[in-house]
Amino acid sequence: MDKPKKPSPVVNPWVKPFWEAAREGRLVYQRCRSCGTNIFYPRIACISCFSDDLEWVQSSGKGTVYSYTVVESNCPSAFVDDMPYVIAIVKLQEKGVQMLSNIVGCDPVDVRCDMPVEVVFEKLNDDITLPKFRPVALK
């Protein structure tokens, strides 16, 4: 069986600025100009006040691992060659901004809950560059 291609995210029109920024190495989220709520993932309207007056803001790219798992078997077929790989929920420093990603740049066994991480960017294809995270080096 041919190995399926890596799934590329479905991109809705209002989400395009997110992926354009990621291609340029910036992690962005939305902020409501009416009520100040931080919004991630990108929405059509504010999740708090329904305003559609939203601005794009650059994230610090720094956060912590809320939870993680090392995928060792029975993964979706497009990811077989990546195993073992780490899936994690990362909470960014910016209030209310959290996302699923992969932890890269370390031995999977070293990942822990609440570990500090920072964003890195990995090109998936010509259109999509995925934000991923690596441990922040201990000083």
Partner 1 sequence: MSNLKGKIAFVGIGEIPTGRYPEAGAISYAIESAKMAIRDAGINKEDIDYVLPTAALFSPAFNTELVTCRVVEELGLKNVKRNAQIFAGGSSSTCALEIAASLINSGGASTVLFVHADKLGTGVSLQGGIDLFSTAGISSEWEVPYGQHYSAIAALATNRYKYETGTTDEELASICVSNRKWAELNPNAFFRKPLTIEEVMASKMLSTPLRAKMSNMLFDGGAAFIVTSAERARDITDRPVYLLGEGGTVTHFVYSQEPDVSRFGWAKAGKMAFEMAGITPREIDVAEIYDSYPIYQLIGFEELGFAERGQGGKMFINGDTWPGGKIPCTTNGGMLSQGHTGAGGAVALMVETVRQLMGKAGDRQVKNARFALETATGGTYMDAQVTILGTEIP
DSSP letter for each residue of the chain: -PPPPPPPPP--GGGHHHHHHHHTT--EEEEETTT--EESS--SS-TTT----EEEEE---EEEEEEEEEE-SS--GGGGGG-SEEEEEEEESSTT-EEEEEE-SS-GGG--TT-EEEEEEEE-SSS-EEEEEEEPPP-
Q: By CB under 8 A, is residue 76 in contact with partner 1?
A: yes
Q: By CB under 8 A, is residue 75 in contact with partner 1?
A: yes
Smallest distance from partner 1 to CB 105, Å: 15
Size, binding site for partner 1 by CB under 8 A: 39
- Which of residues 5 and 139 has its CB atom nearest to partner 1 in the complex? 5
Binding site for partner 1 (CB under 8 A): 1, 6-12, 15, 41, 66-79, 82, 85, 87-89, 98-102, 113-114, 124, 128, 130
